[in-house]
Structures are given as structure tokens and as C-alpha cells.
A and B are shown apart, each in its own frame.
Chain A
Amino acid sequence: QVQLQESGPGLVKPSGTLSLTCGVSGDSISSSKWWTWVRQPPGKGLEWIGEIYHTGSTNYNPSLKSRVTIFIDKSKNQFSLNLNSVTAADTAVYYCARPSSGYSSGPLDYWGQGTLVTVSS
């Protein structure tokens, strides 16, 4: 059973860096999947942040590209998100996700439970 679990600080100061990790169990981070981050501001819709392949290749949302880094740690079977220069607009529930079996990308079938990150002083 594939499971994903986000972890990281729930509160980040404005202009600081948001750092989250997604621990993966039931699958290898080296499998042929694009491991994905999605966020959802309170009461609003879903926004794709970006994705990473086990080779280290990444794709980012152009709206966040200048501030986002996604990286992978094969030894810990996890992948991580850094978002710098945060503002209140970055307050959101952050989800990590994995595409459905049989797909390297696209339909996101496995999700973490989500973690709320609040940007506030």
C-alpha cells in the first residue's frame, strides 16, 4: 500500500523559506513516477507546484518557478519542497502526491494527508 506523509513546520515567517518533506512508503522513490507537490489555500482551489523524477529532473509551475526547489533523497525514500521569500499568499495546505499505477505523470492517485503551512510573523 503506497502511503505519503508530509512533514515540516506549520508556521513560517514572511520572507522566510517554507520547507516540507514527503516520506514515501510502499513504493520506491526511484520508481518511474513524477513525484508531485500541490497546494490549496484555505477555502480555495488546487494549485500544482511542481514535480520531480528520480533522476533529479524537475518541472515547476511558472508562477512559482523563481522561488521553488524540489529535490529528492533516495537514501531516505523521500522528496522535499523549498519555497523561499514566502508571503501570506503562500499560506495553504500543502500536499505531496504520486501518479496512478501505469502512469508516470498525470492522474494523481496517491496523496498525503496534507499539512497546513501558515505564513505569519
Chain B
Amino acid sequence: DIQMTQSPSSLSASVGDRVTITCQASQDITKYLNWYQQKPGKAPNLLIYDASNLKPGVPSRFSGSGSGTDFTFTISSLQPEDIATYYCQQYDKLPLTFGGGTKVEIK
């Protein structure tokens, strides 16, 4: 299985701050990396697909980058509604695997 190591596991930031989450794959997954946002009690919501493509309708403050084994997810200006847990997911090889999640809180 491809292991997805996400860091940090949690972070606290102020409204307006730039927030960065990293995800490292245990082997080369080229661009097959997605990012999800999950709010408490809700299903995950796809934000970024194929490492850097913003899903239509998702605010432009969200972005993704990277390829191979190292990927980054960024919120350029944290908003109160961004409080959630974020997960990366690879789909280069089965089984699909997720990172452990990053819980984002407001300072």
C-alpha cells in the first residue's frame, strides 16, 4: 500500500493567515493526489484534484501543488468557515489511501 504522511496533524492560525499542509507519499504517485475538506458530522468535500486543479465552485484561496512524492495544500487567507479537517488521498495505485488528516483551528 502507498502510505500518505500528512503534516501537521493539527494547526491553529489566525483569520487571514496563510496555512500550508504537506502530504508525502511513500512512492511516486505522479499527480494522482486529491485534497478534501471535512467539517464535523459531514462527508468529505473534494477541493483539489490531480494535485493542483481546483474543483469548480471552490474558493480560489485554496490551492494545491506538487508532484511525485511531495505535495502541498495552501489556504492563502484563512477564513472562519475553513475550520475543518483536511485530508490528502492518492489514487495512483489501489488500495486508495488517505493521509491522517490535518485539523485546522482558529487561534
List A residues at the B interface (Cβ < 8 Å): 36, 45-48, 59-63, 95, 97, 100, 103, 105-109, 111-114
Contact = CB atoms under 8 A, between A and B. Distances in A.
B91 interface: yes
Given A106-B32, A109-B55, A48 B97 contact: yes
A109 B95 contact: no
Contacts of A109: 46, 49, 55
B34 interface: yes
A62 B95 CA distance: 7
Interface of B: 1, 32, 34, 36, 42-46, 49-50, 55, 87, 89, 91, 94-101
A46 B44 contact: yes
A48 B91 CA distance: 11
B1 A106 contact: no
B91 A106 contact: yes
B49 A106 contact: yes
A60 B94 CA distance: 8
5 contacts: A107-B50, A108-B34, A111-B43, A113-B43, A114-B43
B98 A106 contact: no
A114 B39 CA distance: 13
Contact of B98 (A48, A63, A103): A48
